[in-house]
Amino acid sequence: MWEKLANIDRRWLYALMIFVIALALIKPIGLAIVPSADTQKVYDIVEQLPPGSIVWMGMEFSAGGIPELMPAILSMIRQGWKDGRDLRFVCAGMWQMAGDMAEQAFSTVKAEFPDKEYGVDWVNIGYKPGGEVLLQQYQNSIIETAQGVDFYGNDLNTLPLMKEFTSLKQAKLVAIFCTGTPGEKEYIKHVTSPNNIPLIEAAISVSIPECMPLVQAGQIKGLVAGMKGAAEYEVLVGAPGSATAGMDAQSFSHALIIVFMILGNIGYVLTKNKKQAS
Partner 1 sequence: MKKELPVAITLILAILYVLANYFTGVAFLDTAKNLLDRWYLIVAAWAVLVGSINLTQIHGRRISGKREGWIFSVWLLICLYGMMFFGIFVAKNASHPGWTFMYNQLIAPMNATVYSTIVFYIGSAAYRAFRVRSPEASVLLVTALIMMLGRVPLGRMLLGGHPALSQMADWILNVPNSAGMRGIQIGACLGGVATALRIALGIERGHLGGTGE
Partner 2 sequence: MSESVITVGNWLQAFFTIVLVSAVFKDNPLYRFAEHTYVGLYAGYGVALTYFNYIRQNVTKGLMTDGEWSLLIPIIIGVLIYTRYIKSISWLSRYTICFQLGIGSGYVLAKDFKPFFVDQVRATFLPLWGSGDWWVDVSNWVYVIGTVCSLVYFLFTIQKKGVQGKVSLVGRYTMMVAFGAAFGNTVMARVSLFLGRMQFLLGDWLHLIK
Cβ at position 246, least distance to partner 2 in Å: 5
Residues 234-273 that bind partner 2 (CB under 8 A): 242, 245-246, 249-250, 253-254, 257
Helix, strand, coil shares, percent, the chain, to 5: 60, 15, 30
Question: Binding partner 2 by CB under 8 A: which of 6, 16, 66, 270?
Answer: 66
Of 10, 21, 16, 15, whose CA–CA distance to 251 is shortest? 21
Binding mask 52-91 for partner 1 (x = CB under 8 A): -----------xx---------------------------
Cβ at position 33, least distance to partner 2 in Å: 14
Q: At a CB cut-off of 8 Å and minimum separation 6, what does 37 contact? A: none
Question: Binding partner 1 by CB under 8 A: which of 257, 270, 273, 278?
Answer: 257
Among the listed ranges 12-20, 115-123, 136-144, 161-169, the one in contact with partner 1 (CB under 8 A) is 12-20
In terms of Cβ atoms closer than 10 Å to its own Cβ (0-12, 13-18, 19+), residue 50 is exposed
Does residue 133 touch partner 2 according to CB under 8 A? no
Does residue 159 touch partner 2 according to CB under 8 A? no
Strand pairing category for 173-178 and 54-60: parallel
39 binds, among partner 2, partner 1, none (CB under 5 to 8 A by kind): none
User: What is the H or E stretch that residue 25 is in?
Assistant: helix 10-26
Does residue 26 touch partner 2 according to CB under 8 A? yes
Which backbone phi and psi does 172 adopt, to 5 degrees? -85, -20
| CA separation, residue 135 to residues 56, 129, 191 (Å) | 12, 11, 7
Question: Binding partner 1 by CB under 8 A: which of 34, 37, 111, 217?
Answer: 34
| Residue type, position 89, single letter | F
Of 209, 167, 150, 219, whose CA–CA distance to 188 is shortest? 219
Does residue 121 touch partner 2 according to CB under 8 A? no
Please say which residue, 34 or 217, places its beta carbon nearer to partner 1.
34
Residues 131/97, Cβ–Cβ less than 8 Å: no
Q: Is 142 helix (H, G, I), strand (E, B) or coil?
A: helix
Does residue 215 touch partner 1 according to CB under 8 A? no
Question: Binding partner 2 by CB under 8 A: which of 3, 7, 8, 14?
Answer: 14
32 binds, among partner 1, partner 2, none (CB under 5 to 8 A by kind): partner 1
Does residue 118 touch partner 1 according to CB under 8 A? no
Rounded-to-integer distance, Cα 197 and Cα 146, Å: 21
Please say which residue, 100 or 184, places its beta carbon nearer to partner 1.
100
Interacting residue ranges for partner 1, rule: CB under 8 A:
6, 8, 10, 13-14, 17, 31-34, 63-64, 228, 247, 250-251, 253-258, 260-261, 264-265, 268-269
